[in-house]
Amino acid sequence: MKVSEDTSVTIPLRNLVALIGFTIISVTGYVNMTGRITTLENAQNIRDVEIAMNTEFRIKWPRGEMGALPEDAEQNLRLNYLEKNYDELSASVDKLKAYGTVNFELKDKKYLDIKE
């Protein structure tokens, strides 16, 4: 068989339409499949980044390496104030114990009377 410019090929129209339809469906399926794979890969990459950030947060937050909430700062200030007052009161009580018997006359004198 010789192939030249004048060689003719006969194909039924039904088969030609079927080949064109198959080609269109194949190309569409391929494009949709690659698009879906790309979407899934991007979603996986985003998830990996979020997991890494969550792991970093989970480790560093309890250590205080990532800052603190404003409520924590306020609570710490209040705790420091209470500790300071407790230390002062404890020192006063120890001082009073060192002097001996303590008599509280709050109704009449409104002050602390220390007897030795």
Q: Cα–Cα distance between 53 and 35 in angstroms, integer?
A: 27
Residue pLDDT, tens place only, 48-85: 999 999 988 888 877 777 777 767 778 888 999 999 99
Tokens read off for 23: 């080609």
- Any idea where the domains of the chain sit in the sequence? 10-67, 69-116
Q: Which of 61-65, 90-94, 109-113 has the lowest mean pLDDT?
A: 109-113
Is the full-model pTM beyond 0.75?
A: no
Report the distance separating Cα 25 and Cα 5, nearest Å.
Answer: 31
User: Cα-atom radius of gyration of the chain, to the nearest Å?
Assistant: 43
Rounded-to-integer distance, Cα 27 and Cα 32, Å: 9
